[in-house]
C-alpha cells in the first residue's frame, strides 16, 4: 500500500465555477438594464423633439398702441408656420362696413399691406414671410372700407394702432 499524501486543501473548482456563473449573470443583467435605459432615453429624446417642433417659435413681436398709448394689439410672427398672429388687447371693434388692415412700415418706403383682418374675433392669423418682415421697423393698423385698401394706394385714414416691430432672439 502506498501512502498517498492527503491533499491539505480542498478542490476550489466548484467555487470558481459558481463565481464565474455569478459574474456572467451580473454582466448579462447589466447589459439588459443598459439596453433598456438606452431605449427609454431614445424614446424620451424623440418625444421631446416632437414637442419642441410643435412649440411655436416667435421671431418678431410688436405691441401696437392706440392714440392714447394704451396696448391695443399684440403681433407675433412664427417663422415655422409662416404666420403673423394678431391678438386684440382692447375692445375696439370696426364698423359693419369697415375692415382693419395691417401695414408694414419701412423708413423711406411707402406702407406695404400685410393683409386684412377679416374676422371680428379676438385672434387673427395672416400669412407672412421672414423676408417680408426683415426690413420692417413698425407695424400699423388702419380702418379701411370692407375688403381693405389697394396695396399700391396705402391706407385711406390715419393709423388706428401702431408700434415698433422687434426681432426676438430665438
How does pLDDT run across 48-58, given as a tens digit for each residue?
A: 988 888 777 88
Whole-Å CA distances, 133 to 40, 75, 105, 136: 42, 12, 10, 5
Half-sphere exposure of 69 (CA within 13 A, CB side): 0
Same domain flag for 33 and 80: no
Same domain flag for 51 and 99: no
- Residue 101 pLDDT more than 70? yes
Give a yes or no: residue 76 inside a domain.
yes
Compute the distance between CA of residue 51 and CA of residue 36 in angstroms, rounded to an integer.
Answer: 23
In this structure, is the dihedral angle defined by the CA atoms of residues 137, 141, 147 and 149, taken in order, positive or negative?
A: negative
Q: Is 53 helix (H, G, I), strand (E, B) or coil?
A: helix
Cβ–Cβ under 8 Å, residues 164 and 51: no
Residue 56: left (phi > 0), alpha (psi -120 to 50), or beta?
Answer: beta
Same domain flag for 96 and 157: yes
Same domain flag for 66 and 28: no
91 or 151, higher pLDDT: 91
Domain CATH number, residue 67 = 2.60.40
Same domain flag for 46 and 64: no
User: Which residues lie across from 99 on neighbouring strands?
Assistant: 144
Same domain flag for 124 and 158: yes
Half-sphere exposure of 150 (CA within 13 A, CB side): 2
Same domain flag for 44 and 98: no
Give a yes or no: residue 99 inside a domain.
yes
Same domain flag for 24 and 71: no
Same domain flag for 22 and 70: no
Give a yes or no: residue 4 inside a domain.
no
> How high is the pLDDT of residue 13?
82
Cβ–Cβ under 8 Å, residues 83 and 127: yes
Give a yes or no: residue 2 inside a domain.
no
> How high is the pLDDT of residue 3?
59
Instruction: Report which DSSP code applies to 11.
Output: -
Same domain flag for 74 and 95: yes
Q: Give residue 108's domain range.
A: 60-167
Number of structural domains in the chain = 2
Compute the distance between CA of residue 9 and CA of residue 121 in angstroms, rounded to an integer.
Answer: 93
Compute the distance between CA of residue 61 and CA of residue 54 in angstroms, rounded to an integer.
Answer: 19
pTM greater than 0.95: no
Render pLDDT for 14-48 as a digit per residue (tens, 0 to 9). Answer: 888 999 999 999 999 999 999 999 999 999 999 99
Q: Which of 101, 119, 115, 110 is nearest to 162 (CA)?
A: 101
Q: How confident is the model at residue 6 (pLDDT cuts 50, 70, 90)?
A: low
Amino acid at each position: 500500500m502506498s501512502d498517498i499524501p492527503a491533499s491539505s486543501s480542498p478542490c476550489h473548482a466548484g467555487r470558481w465555477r459558481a463565481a464565474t456563473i455569478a459574474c456572467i449573470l451580473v454582466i448579462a443583467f447589466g447589459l439588459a438594464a443598459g439596453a433598456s435605459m438606452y431605449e427609454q432615453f431614445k424614446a424620451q429624446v424623440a418625444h421631446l423633439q416632437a414637442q419642441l417642433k410643435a412649440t411655436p417659435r416667435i421671431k418678431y413681436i410688436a405691441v401696437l398702441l392706440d392714440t392714447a398709448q394704451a396696448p391695443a394689439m399684440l403681433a407675433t410672427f412664427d417663422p415655422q408656420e409662416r404666420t403673423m398672429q394678431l391678438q386684440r388687447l382692447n375692445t375696439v371693434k370696426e364698423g359693419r362696413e369697415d375692415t382693419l388692415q395691417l401695414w408694414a412700415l419701412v423708413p423711406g418706403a411707402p406702407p406695404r399691406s400685410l393683409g386684412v383682418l377679416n374676422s371680428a374675433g379676438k385672434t387673427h392669423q395672416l400669412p407672412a414671410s421672414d423676408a417680408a418682415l426683415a426690413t420692417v421697423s413698425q407695424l400699423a393698423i388702419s380702418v379701411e372700407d370692407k375688403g381693405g385698401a389697394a396695396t399700391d394706394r396705402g391706407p385711406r385714414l390715419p393709423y388706428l394702432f401702431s408700434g415698433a416691430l422687434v426681432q426676438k432672439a430665438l
